[in-house]
Amino acid sequence: MTGWLAIFRRELASYFATPVAVVFTVVFLVSAMAFTFYLGDFFVRDQADLQSFFFYHPWLFLFLIPAIAMRLWAEDRRSGTFELLLTLPVSTFAVVFGKFLAAWVFTALALALTFPIWITVNYLGSPDNGVILASYLGSLLMAGSFLGLGAAFSALTRNQVIAFVGTAAVSFLFMFSGLPLVQNILQGWMPDPLISLIASFSFLSHFSGIMKGVIEGRDVLFFLSLTGFWLFVNTVIVDLKREAG
């Protein structure tokens, strides 16, 4: 246990040792507020809820989370600390999990800093705070899936730009797989069971249910399973890189 905890502390501290933490947090907060109050027509809707706030989280994560994840392993490989990191007396998975958890906690802190909008909507009306809390949970779970995917891509290359593009591209596929437009395109040359299977991997479909305040086990399990899968892939990639020297 102390192995992954040491990695976690090292990685989390590294975010605040550079401008990364400030830049990401400011961009996330400004973008979230802009989408909520301008594109989301927060005041025009005249409803005491945060639907317009959470609606844009998947789109924000599509570009901001890969920016965090791209440095998880690519930076170590570029700077030459990758081999040194793997000589520590801890398992590969402990290193993978510690790095991922640090990025996830950092993302959670950025999410927590949006609390003024929660206070604002309570001041303006009487929202269903249970729905809002569920939406925050769903957003955090979805961010974990984005990060797990990004960590795996970061382990594949020492080039952070390639890691960013690869993560964003695959995340884009996960985002759009459940949209009616995509399903209609696939309907002409794929059997319905396969189309349904592809649609079941949509981040949007699973997050939209949680955003309405309905926390179903299948949605939570989807995000946790997907995160676990990518952490496993990440571990395999790092082990292969280690064996290859």
The alpha carbon dihedral of 172, 177, 182, 186 has a sign of: positive
- Who wins on pLDDT, 231 or 175? 231
CA separation, residue 95 to residues 34, 87, 225, 237 (Å): 37, 11, 19, 13
pTM of the complete model: 0.88
Distance of CA 144 to the CA centre of its chain: 4
Containing H/E element for 131? helix 129-156
pLDDT bucket at 15, cuts 50 / 70 / 90: confident
With beta carbons less than 8 A apart as the criterion, state whether 224 and 200 touch: no
Cα 214 to Cα 195: distance, rounded to the nearest angstrom: 24
Q: Tokens 């957003």 correspond to what residue?
A: 139
- Who wins on pLDDT, 235 or 1? 235
CA separation, residue 174 to residues 29, 70, 146 (Å): 24, 18, 10
Cα 29 to Cα 40: distance, rounded to the nearest angstrom: 15
Structure confidence by residue, pLDDT tens digits, 17-36: 878 788 888 999 999 888 88
Over 90: is that where the pLDDT of 133 sits? yes
Complete DSSP assignment for 104-118: HHHHHHHHHTTHHHH
Q: For residue 245, what pLDDT is reported?
A: 59
User: Taking Cα atoms as reference points, which of 104, 114, 116 lies closest to residue 136?
Assistant: 114
Over 80: is that where the pLDDT of 84 sits? no
